[in-house]
Amino acid sequence: MTVPSRLRTALLILCAILCTASTPAQPSPAPTSYRVPAEKLPTYVGAYRFDDSPYYPLSISLIDGKLFAESQRMPRQELAPSAPDTFVPASGSHPFILKFTLSADGKISGLTRIAPDKSTHPAQKVDSEPQTFIKPEFARQEVMIPVRDGIKLHAIILVPKDATAALPILMQRTPYGVDESTSDSVNSRFPELVHDHYIFVFEDIRGRYESEGTFVMSRAMVDHTNPKLVDESTDTYDTVAWLVKNIPNNNGRVGVFGISYPGFLAQAAGIDPHPAVKAISPQAPMIDVWMGDDFFHNGAFRQTYGHDYTLGMESSKENAFGKLDEDAYDFFLKAGSFAAAAKQTGVDKLPTGIGFLKNPAYDDFWRSRGVEWHLDKVAVPTLLVGGFWDQEDMYGPQEAYALLEPHDSNRENFLVLGPWNHGQWGGSSNHLGDIYFGEATTDDYRVRYEAPFFNRYLHDQGSFTLRDTATFETGSNKWKQYSHWPPPEAKSENLYLFPDGALGFADPARAMLPPMTGAQVAAMTGNTNKNYTEYVSDPANPIPYRHRPIQATYAEGSHWYTWMVEDQRTLLAGRHDFASWSSKVLEHDVTIAGDVIADLFASTSGTDADWVVKLIDEYPATPATTTSPLGDQPTADTTPSYQLIINAEIFRGRYRTSFDHPSAIPANQIEEYKWSLHAADHTFIKGHKIVVQVQSTWFPLYDRNPQTFVPNIMVAAPSDFHPATQRIYANSHLILPVLP
């Protein structure tokens, strides 16, 4: 196990580091003895705008004969040459390579920034003058804040030195450490909020880093009428009371925001809030780690995440995320069960590890940790934010919005959904993995929604014009606004999975897809000899959820952040243990906006089964028109077709009638399984195909279902695992929210 620095791990978890924002502490590529003639240095000077994050150009300046790089989101750093027209930071903790590009006349026309993960980010030279930046200085104070049970919580307070009026407070509470909060870090992480003038507060939660007390993972909510009990809401309440009393010149208003665990803490801040809390923004909050966030989805156990996160958070008071010495696929397959894997690494002795092993079903252990049971009023204006490809907490923001919406008589419950992975909107990017969206949607979000939201509720200023929901419609790549989510204008359409591998809407008159054949109609009505599609699922050879090798979740170079957009065509190539249905080539665009529901009628020859349903956009093969970003390596002749997951979710069959009382599935009997694949706002473009896949393993992210009912899958013995024949019957369908 390696223990990375706390900032690095926190940022890895938030994922913002993948972009041009602050980057993790890593050794910089060593500058060499390469020299650039002094007269050449001025040719590099200027402002460079990145294709994938145009909001924040990089500035190259020459000061006292030395070259420096700086952006609004990156502190100024001296550059050292490492090869012709190539520079690296002379020192420090922000590693990158800058390779300048030349136009035909030999002049510097742009550069490519090569990140530590080897991703390349081309930029055009847009000005021959360097840009200047406004980066306010903050006075930094470190405090211990007493809460109601006598415990003291550690916090950093940053007050703008140039403040001329009383300012509101913006607070983040976190389990990931706050010591590295400085003027530089807020200028890098929150440029739009810094611009709008806030006092920033960062607090270590109970039991983490320098705060006293005991850390409890997703601490359960207590009865707030009992003044002796504490939870994350009461700790926030007491902290806010202390802050508004003790920070000079604050305006008595507090906003709480954060992504993921800090998002859960922001959500908790809005439950029985202190009166000074005037706005919260829970971003990718986990609100129920069993139902649909980090640790289980519909009862299927997310063993790699549960394992790695528990080890990272509970084996030390500080982050201790590690790496595995082998492919996680091999490690968990060889171990056989989660109990056996956890025993090898010591996770079986940690509180949450014990929780997994003893409480596989949705009992009080998990229910008490569900914030969702407390979301029965919009106590303060709330901006929920989520990503369509959030690999950790996709359920939380969507479900929290849906639970609050019926109580939103003042219209203060807002939702923004974008084309992002977990927390990606904190950085600057116009793409996720290989999928490009045409604009820096991350910066769009912060500039158009996040900053105006806090400006309105904490400063009474600016124009926050969001009526209710903003989403980025993928495929067509444009921002949309709706009066409610899911949009009332979308109509539910059943998309049937026919036994001959075709997909079709029930009503051919809609002509959204080419009309059904007679055989398809016969299959749908059961008037055929074979009205099902079948495959054999073998737990001894489970389908990988991403291309191998599979690194530990937050290990160096891990592909965890983009697995949801990996090409399903190459991932499943050569396999026969799944079923697939495809539309014909679309004759016109089909747009869906709302929740996608799977409604399977299925049987298994075993007595338990997992069902994974994926709704896929199949891009056609296209001739290559581009060269690589470095401009010196031509790409292949054609881009092969690409299968992009739009929605995907798992359901563990034993929970089909109850999440707290699992039961065996009667072998070879048709049962109905119905569950949500969550939100999409996506256009399947004319010329593409709609594809649906069903499979029964998604490994090692999800533990293997033995396919024979056992009381506790966590401790299943090798002899419990059996291949099973799975049948998907013709009346199975997806319910799609189709926009007219």
Binding site for ligand PG9 (CB under 6 A): 13, 218, 260-261, 264, 286, 289, 294, 309, 392-393
Amino acid 220 reads: A
Rounded to a whole number of angstroms, the minimum distance from the CB of residue 683 to ligand PG9 is 29
707, 518 Cβ separation under 8 angstroms: no
Rounded to a whole number of angstroms, the minimum distance from the CB of residue 313 to ligand PG9 is 8
235 versus 393: smaller Cβ distance to ligand PG9: 393
551, 324 Cβ separation under 8 angstroms: yes
203 versus 617: smaller Cβ distance to ligand PG9: 203
Rounded to a whole number of angstroms, the minimum distance from the CB of residue 684 to ligand PG9 is 30
Identify the CA nearest to 296 among candidates 720, 713, 578. Answer: 713
What distance in Å separates the CA atoms of residue 20 and residue 2, rounded to the nearest whole number? 25
In Å, what is the CA distance from 151 to each residue of 76, 206, 223, 238, 534? 40, 8, 19, 11, 59
Rounded to a whole number of angstroms, the minimum distance from the CB of residue 387 to ligand PG9 is 12
Torsion of CA 701, 706, 708, 714, to 10 degrees: -80
Rounded to a whole number of angstroms, the minimum distance from the CB of residue 681 to ligand PG9 is 23
218 versus 430: smaller Cβ distance to ligand PG9: 218
Strand partners, 282: 258
Q: Is 217 helix (H, G, I), strand (E, B) or coil?
A: coil
In Å, what is the CA distance from 139 to each residue of 441, 459, 485? 32, 21, 42
Rounded to a whole number of angstroms, the minimum distance from the CB of residue 357 to ligand PG9 is 17
Rounded to a whole number of angstroms, the minimum distance from the CB of residue 509 to ligand PG9 is 45
190 versus 264: smaller Cβ distance to ligand PG9: 264
Rounded to a whole number of angstroms, the minimum distance from the CB of residue 474 to ligand PG9 is 23
3-state DSSP: the chain helix, strand, coil percent, rounded to 5? 20, 30, 45
Which residues are within 8 A (CB) of 476 and not within 5 positions of it... i.e. 6 or more apart? 589, 591, 683, 685
- Both tokens of 35, joined, read 């020299």
Rounded to a whole number of angstroms, the minimum distance from the CB of residue 288 to ligand PG9 is 10
Strand order through the sheet with 167-174: 138-146, 152-160, 199-204, 167-174, 250-259, 277-283, 382-387, 413-418, 469-473, 478-482
Measured from each CB, the residue nearest to ligand PG9 is 260
123, burial (CB in 10 Å: exposed 0-12, middle 13-18, buried 19+): buried
Q: Is the four-CA dihedral 402, 406, 407, 409 of positive or negative sign?
A: positive
Rounded to a whole number of angstroms, the minimum distance from the CB of residue 678 to ligand PG9 is 16
Phi and psi torsions of 642, nearest 5°: -135, 130
205 versus 240: smaller Cβ distance to ligand PG9: 205
15 versus 458: smaller Cβ distance to ligand PG9: 15
13 versus 503: smaller Cβ distance to ligand PG9: 13
290 versus 309: smaller Cβ distance to ligand PG9: 309
392 versus 610: smaller Cβ distance to ligand PG9: 392
Rounded to a whole number of angstroms, the minimum distance from the CB of residue 707 to ligand PG9 is 28
Helix 303-314 × helix 338-345 angle, to 10°: 30
218 versus 583: smaller Cβ distance to ligand PG9: 218
| Cα-trace Rg, the chain | 26
294 versus 318: smaller Cβ distance to ligand PG9: 294
What distance in Å separates the CA atoms of residue 268 and residue 194, rounded to the nearest whole number? 24
